[in-house]
Amino acid sequence: MHVRALRFLTVVAAAVALAPQVRAQVREQTADQQVRHVLNRLAFGPRPGDYERVRAMGVDAWIEQQLHPERIADPAVTQLLSQLPMYTTSVAKLRAEYGGPAPQAQLARARTRADTMEIRQDNREATRARSETEAARVGRAVISERQLEEVLVDFWLNHFNVFVGKNQQEMRFFLASYEREVIRPRVFGKFRDLLGAVAHSPAMLLYLDNRISGADSNRITLATYGAQQPVRGRAGLPVGRGSGNLLPTRAAQALQQRGARGLNENYARELLELHTLGVDGGYTQKDVIEVARAFTGWSIVPPNADGPGGRGAARQAAMASGSIVEGDFMFRPQVHDAEEKIVLGTKIKAGRGVEDGELVLDIVAKHPSTARYIATKLARRLVSDSPSFALVERAADKFTKTKGDLREVVRVIVTSPEFFAASAYRAKVKSPFEVVVSALRAVGAPADVTPRTHQVLTLLGQPVFGHQTPDGWPETGDEWINTGSILNRINFGIFLAAGRMPGTSEGTWPLPVGIRRESREAQVDAVIAAFLGGEASVETRQILISGTNPMLATAAPDSATNQMATRASNDADVTGMDPVQFRRAQAGRAFQNLPPLEGVAQIVGLALGSPEFQRR
Amino acid sequence: MQRRIFLKQGAFALVTMGLSPSFLRRTVLGNELPNVAKGKVLVCLFQRGAADALNVVVPHGEQEYYKIRPRIAIPRPTSGGAQAAIDLDGFFGLHPALAPLAPLYKSGILAPIHAVGSPSSTRSHFDAQDYMESGTPDNKGTPDGWVNRYLATCGTCEAHAKTPFRGVSLSQQTPRIMQGPAETVAMNSIDEFTVRATGTHVQRLEALYRTGTADLVHGAGQEMFDAVKMLKAANPQQYVPQNGAFYPNTQFGQRLKQIAQLIRADVGLEIAFADIGGWDTHANQGAAQGQLAQRLNEYAPAIAAFVADLGDKMSDVVVLTMTEFGRTARENGNAGTDHGHAGAMFVIGGSVKGGKVYGKWPGLAREQLYEGRDLALTTDFRTVFSEVVNKHLGAAEMSRLFPGFAPGAALGLL
Query: Model-level pTM?
Result: 0.83
Interface of A with B in 268-307 (CB under 8 A): 269, 273, 279, 285, 288
What is the Cα–Cα distance from A347 to A293, expressed in whole angstroms?
A: 13
Using CA atoms of B348, B354, B359, B365 in order, give the dihedral in degrees to the nearest 10.
Answer: 100
What is the Cα–Cα distance from A45 to A442, expressed in whole angstroms?
A: 7
Dihedral of alpha carbons A305, A309, A315, A318, sign: negative
The reply to whether A483 touches chain B by the CB within 8 Å rule is yes
Question: Which chain A positions have a beta carbon within 8 Å of B189's beta carbon?
Answer: 578
pLDDT of residue B329: 97
What is the Cα–Cα distance from A155 to B176, expressed in whole angstroms?
A: 23
Contact B221, A611 (CB under 8 A): yes
Comparing alpha-carbon positions, the chain A residue that sits nearest to B192 is: A588
pLDDT of residue A184: 98
Does an H or E element contain A28, and which? none
Closest CA to A321 of A259, A242, A260: A242
Residue of A486, A539, A591, A594 to mutate, interface with B, max B Cβ within 10 Å: A486
Going by pLDDT thresholds of 50, 70 and 90, the confidence category of residue B96 is very high
Interface of A with B in 514-573 (CB under 8 A): 537, 539-540, 543-544, 547-549, 551-552, 554-555, 557-558, 561-562, 564-569, 571-572
Interchain CB distance below 8 Å, B195 and A481: no
pLDDT of residue A102: 66
Does an H or E element contain B73, and which? none
Comparing alpha-carbon positions, the chain A residue that sits nearest to B218 is: A611
B373 vs A103, higher pLDDT: B373
Percent of chain B exceeding pLDDT 90 equals: 66
Contact B197, A594 (CB under 8 A): yes
Would you call A236 helix, strand, or coil by DSSP?
coil
What is the Cα–Cα distance from B46 to B132, expressed in whole angstroms?
A: 10
Question: Which chain B positions have a beta carbon within 8 Å of A271's beta carbon?
Answer: none
Dihedral of alpha carbons A445, A447, A448, A453, sign: positive
Contact B369, B375 (CB under 8 A): yes
List b or e across A271-295, with b for residues whose CB sees 16 or more CB atoms inside 10 angstroms. Answer: bbbbbbbbbebebeeebbbbbbbbb
The reply to whether A60 touches chain B by the CB within 8 Å rule is no
Q: Which residues of chain A have pLDDT under 50?
A: 1, 3-6, 8-11, 13-24, 229-260, 306-309, 551-587
Size of interface A-B (CB pairs under 8 A): 243
Interchain CB distance below 8 Å, B201 and A588: no
Alpha carbon of A16: minimum distance to chain B alpha carbons (Å): 33
The reply to whether A490 touches chain B by the CB within 8 Å rule is yes
The reply to whether A594 touches chain B by the CB within 8 Å rule is yes
What is the Cα–Cα distance from B295 to A87, expressed in whole angstroms?
A: 32
From the list B15, B218, B233, the residue facing A561 with the nearest CB is B233
Biggest CA–CA distance in chain B, Å, is 70
pLDDT of residue B125: 93
pLDDT of residue A581: 39
Biggest CA–CA distance in chain A, Å, is 89
Comparing alpha-carbon positions, the chain B residue that sits nearest to A543 is: B204
Interchain CB distance below 8 Å, B191 and A494: no
Alpha carbon of B335: minimum distance to chain A alpha carbons (Å): 7
Cross-strand bridge partners of residue B94:
B57, B86
The reply to whether A576 touches chain B by the CB within 8 Å rule is no
Dihedral of alpha carbons A519, A521, A527, A530, sign: negative
Alpha carbon of B251: minimum distance to chain A alpha carbons (Å): 7
pLDDT of residue A401: 98
B212 vs B258, higher pLDDT: B258
Helices first, then strands: H and E counts in chain A = 31, 5
A560 vs B355, higher pLDDT: B355
Interchain CB distance below 8 Å, A606 and B283: no
Closest CA to B405 of B375, B381, B378, B376: B381
What crossing angle do the helices spanning A368-382 and A406-414 adopt, rounded to 10°? 50
Going by pLDDT thresholds of 50, 70 and 90, the confidence category of residue B237 is confident
Residue B391: φ, ψ to 5°: -75, -35
CA distances to B227, B344, B361 from B353, rounded to whole Å, are 35, 17, 19
CA distances to A68, A566, B128 from A501, rounded to whole Å, are 32, 25, 41
Using the predicted structure, report yes or no on whether residue B88 has a pLDDT greater than 50: yes
Question: Which chain B positions have a beta carbon within 8 Å of A204's beta carbon?
Answer: none
pLDDT of residue B158: 46
Interchain CB distance below 8 Å, B187 and A543: no
**DSSP state for residue B370 in the 8-state scheme:** B
Question: Which chain B positions have a beta carbon within 8 Å of A581's beta carbon?
Answer: 251, 254
Using the predicted structure, report yes or no on whether residue B151 has a pLDDT greater than 60: yes
pLDDT of residue B229: 87
Q: Can you state the percent helix, strand and coil of chain B, rounding each to 5?
A: 40, 15, 45
From the list A429, A552, A606, the residue facing B210 with the nearest CB is A552
In chain A, the N- to C-terminal Cα span, in Å, equals 37
Does an H or E element contain B390, and which? none
pLDDT of residue A478: 85
Q: What is the mean pLDDT of residues B85-107?
A: 98
Going by pLDDT thresholds of 50, 70 and 90, the confidence category of residue B413 is very high
From the list B195, B207, B334, the residue facing A212 with the nearest CB is B334
Judge residue A3's burial from the number of C-beta atoms within 10 Å of its C-beta, 0-12 exposed, 13-18 middle, 19 or more buried: exposed
Using the predicted structure, report yes or no on whether residue B281 has a pLDDT greater than 50: yes
3-class DSSP string for A130-181: HHHHHHHHHHHHHHCCCHHHHHHHHHHHHHCCCCCCCCHHHHCCCHHHHHHH
Alpha carbon of B105: minimum distance to chain A alpha carbons (Å): 30
ipTM over 0.90: no
Closest CA to B188 of A614, A459, A430: A459
Comparing alpha-carbon positions, the chain B residue that sits nearest to A546 is: B204
Alpha carbon of B322: minimum distance to chain A alpha carbons (Å): 18
Judge residue B312's burial from the number of C-beta atoms within 10 Å of its C-beta, 0-12 exposed, 13-18 middle, 19 or more buried: exposed
How would DSSP label each residue in B374-386?
A: BPPP-EEHHHHHH
| Cα A68 versus chain centre, distance | 20
Look up residue A366 and give its amino acid.
K
Alpha carbon of A260: minimum distance to chain B alpha carbons (Å): 6
Interchain CB distance below 8 Å, A478 and B195: no
Using the predicted structure, report yes or no on whether residue B334 has a pLDDT greater than 50: yes
Q: What is the mean pLDDT of chain B?
A: 87
The reply to whether A591 touches chain B by the CB within 8 Å rule is yes
pLDDT of residue A593: 72
**DSSP state for residue A450 in the 8-state scheme:** S
